[in-house]
Amino acid sequence: MRTINRYANFAWVATIFTVLFVSGCQENDPPLPDSIANFEASTLGMGDDTGEIDINLILTRAVGEEVTIVITFATDGLVYGDHFTTIPAAIDNSLQVDIPGGSNQAAFKVVRNAQAFLDGDEKITFAISTVTSPATPGDVTEVQLSFSPILSAGGEMTLNGLIGSEPGSSAGNSVFVDFSSNVQKAVARTSWDLGFFNGEDFRVIINNMSGASVIAVDKTDISDVSAADINPADLAIGLGEGHLGLIDGVAGDINDTAIPVIAAADGDNKVYVINRVGGTGATSEASAFEKIRLLRNGDHYTLQYARLNETTFNILEINKSGNGNFTYVSFDNGPVAVEPTGSKWDIQWGWSIYSTENLPYGFSDLVFINHLSGTTAAEVLTSTVSYEDFDVQDISRVTFSGDRDVIGSNWRITSPPASAGVKTDRFYVIRDANGNVYKLMFVNFHGNDGGVRGNPKIKYALVQAGA
């Protein structure tokens, strides 16, 4: 009997321990963030030169199932079908947009009827009517589309840096942002190889967004150049490899390109070999290198190009269009659209080859301004004036700079990881090519500051409209 009692006592103690123990170890996961559906911007404009516009719908978090959003619209001075249409088509001023499962955005198009004569003061107001579960409507459920360029008063924007599941530190897109029109344009960084300057000089840039590098071969016949003419390792840049002569000047000075100005006399233009994607201290295989020769053709350019070991080559004529800073060319696809034309962008965000300690070095999240179109910018420390308080009177106290990298990587910390985040002690003021002054704050950009690497969130507001 005593023994049984002992067993019983032990069992009692053991049970208590077990209960305490198990209850001490319960873990309840917090929920995932809500998936909220918003328009990307609350005001958008279509100038006379714009035939169609994408209106983006964003989910704050992608969900597994397809999300269907029903949008209704009201027009002011416009008739659907006569003056404009939408893709997908609308019925009774209502259209449906599906965001596929796993995706966090979708868009519909508004297409201007080319025959329609408009004054420019016409408007359409789109509104999110219903959103299917689990997504819910958010704060920006209306967007007003004007049929003339707008001057945005400000907004918030999450940049579409990621193409797929690539790490945010090497986000595949470069994103151009135009504050005044509330528009961002994401371009795959490796979608182009050469940019032909549309200004006065005959200058060609290589792709700094992909970490391309270039060396000259002392030959003028492109067919005569092969892997035997170069040492592939000489093209390696980044992580201590290479030198700044292999890339275009990181300050964006058009007179400081790696390929010198194209000479008028063809005999003076050498063959160049390009490693198309780099920046990690190594190169692609030599057979993936491209050889090029650049010539003038009156007021235009002629490009000869081929894979390094090919004996035949392609020829492409590139006109100086005067439309935008550069005309872009891909060795795979010929002419391609990259940066928005002219002054239709203010800042560019993304990975780029840059320099540190006088060596080429790849930087994530670099922000460049549209310096070639005349955009200028300045950094303001919140110890002088806060983002919220900064207004017209403060503009005169700011010294604007036309350096492309005036924002650069100064706005964020990446290392050590536990300290990574946007620098909250500063913001930026940007005077765009049209003289509009915006203030710009980086809200977050990294898992450590509540953001997502590759999808930085920015906030901007108009301080002063241009003359």
Partner 1 sequence: MKKNFLTFAVVLATASFVAAQDSIKTVLLDDVVVTGQYEPQSVKKSVYQVRTITYDRIRSRGATDILSVLRTELGMRFSNDLTLGTSDVSLMGMGGQNVKILLDGVPLLDRGATRESINQIDINTIERIEIVEGPMSVIYGTDALAGVINIISKKYDDKKVTIEARIQEETAGKEYALLDGRGVHNESVGVTWRGKTWNAAGTVTRNDFGGWQGSFRRRKKEWNVKDQWLGAGSVGFDHDDLTASYRLNYVNEAITAAGDININTNVATDKVYRINRYMHMAQADGNINERLSFAGVASYQDYSRRTQTTTIDMTTGERRLTIGAGEQDEAKFSSAMVRGMFLYKPSERFSWQPGFDINLTNGTGERIDGDRSIADYAFFVTSEIKAWRSVSIRPGLRFNYNSVYDAPPAIPSLNTKLSLARSLDLRLAYAYGFRAPALRELYFSFHDASHDIDGNPALKAEYSNSFSGSLAWQAFTTPLLRIQTTLGGFYNTFHNQIVIATVNDPGQPTGKLSRYDNVYRSRTLGSTLENTFAWNAFTATLGFSYIGVADPLKAENGSLDILWSPEVNTVLSHRFKRAKMSASLFYKFTGKRSNYELATVDNVSATRLAAQESFHFADASLIKKITPNLELIGGVKNIFNITTLQNSSANSGGAHSTGSAVPMSYGRSYFFALNFQFTH
Q: Does 399 engage in binding with partner 1 (CB under 8 A)?
A: no
Q: State the nearest-atom distance from the C-beta of 425 to partner 1, in Å.
A: 9
Contact set for partner 1, span 407-426 (CB under 8 A): 415-419, 421-422, 424
Which residue from 51, 100, 322, 450 is in contact with partner 1, where contact means CB under 8 A? 450
CA–CA distance, 70 with 165 (Å, rounded to integer): 28
Stretch that binds partner 1, among 135-143, 301-309, 390-398, 441-449 (CB under 8 A): 441-449
H helical segments located in 214-272: none
Four-point Cα dihedral 393, 397, 402, 408, nearest 10:
-100
Nearer Cβ to partner 1, position 49 or 425? Answer: 425
Radius of gyration of the chain from its Cα atoms, rounded to whole angstroms: 27
Nearer Cβ to partner 1, position 8 or 111? Answer: 8
List 387's β-bridge partners, or say none. none
- Cα–Cα distances in Å, from 159 out to 184, 317, 428? 7, 34, 17
Q: Which phi and psi angles does 447 have, rounded to 5°? A: -50, -30
Q: Does 33 engage in binding with partner 1 (CB under 8 A)?
A: yes
Q: Does 30 engage in binding with partner 1 (CB under 8 A)?
A: yes
Q: Does 177 engage in binding with partner 1 (CB under 8 A)?
A: no
Q: Does 383 engage in binding with partner 1 (CB under 8 A)?
A: no
Stretch that binds partner 1, among 143-151, 160-168, 181-189, 337-345 (CB under 8 A): 160-168
Q: Which of 160, 183, 187, 175 lies closest to 55, judged by CA?
A: 183
| One-letter amino acid of 454 | G
Q: Does 49 engage in binding with partner 1 (CB under 8 A)?
A: no
Q: Does 168 engage in binding with partner 1 (CB under 8 A)?
A: yes
Nearer Cβ to partner 1, position 7 or 311? Answer: 7
- Residue 26 makes CB contacts below 8 A (sequence gap 6+) with none
Q: Does 298 engage in binding with partner 1 (CB under 8 A)?
A: no
Q: Does 81 engage in binding with partner 1 (CB under 8 A)?
A: no
Beta-strand relationship, 36-39 and 136-137: parallel
Q: Does 165 engage in binding with partner 1 (CB under 8 A)?
A: yes
Q: State the nearest-atom distance from the C-beta of 97 to partner 1, in Å.
A: 22
Q: Which of 329, 267, 326, 338 lies closest to 296, judged by CA?
A: 267
CA–CA distance, 98 with 106 (Å, rounded to integer): 7
Q: State the nearest-atom distance from the C-beta of 376 to partner 1, in Å.
A: 24
CA–CA distance, 326 with 199 (Å, rounded to integer): 8
Residue with tokens 């492309």: 404
Assign 72 to helix, strand or coil: strand
Q: Does 77 engage in binding with partner 1 (CB under 8 A)?
A: no
Stretch that binds partner 1, among 49-57, 117-125, 162-170, 373-381 (CB under 8 A): 162-170
Footprint of partner 1 (CB under 8 A)? 3, 6, 10, 13-14, 16-17, 20-21, 23-25, 27, 29-33, 61-62, 165, 167-170, 233, 236, 239-240, 278, 280-286, 288, 351, 357-358, 362, 364, 415-419, 421-422, 424, 441-444, 447-453, 459
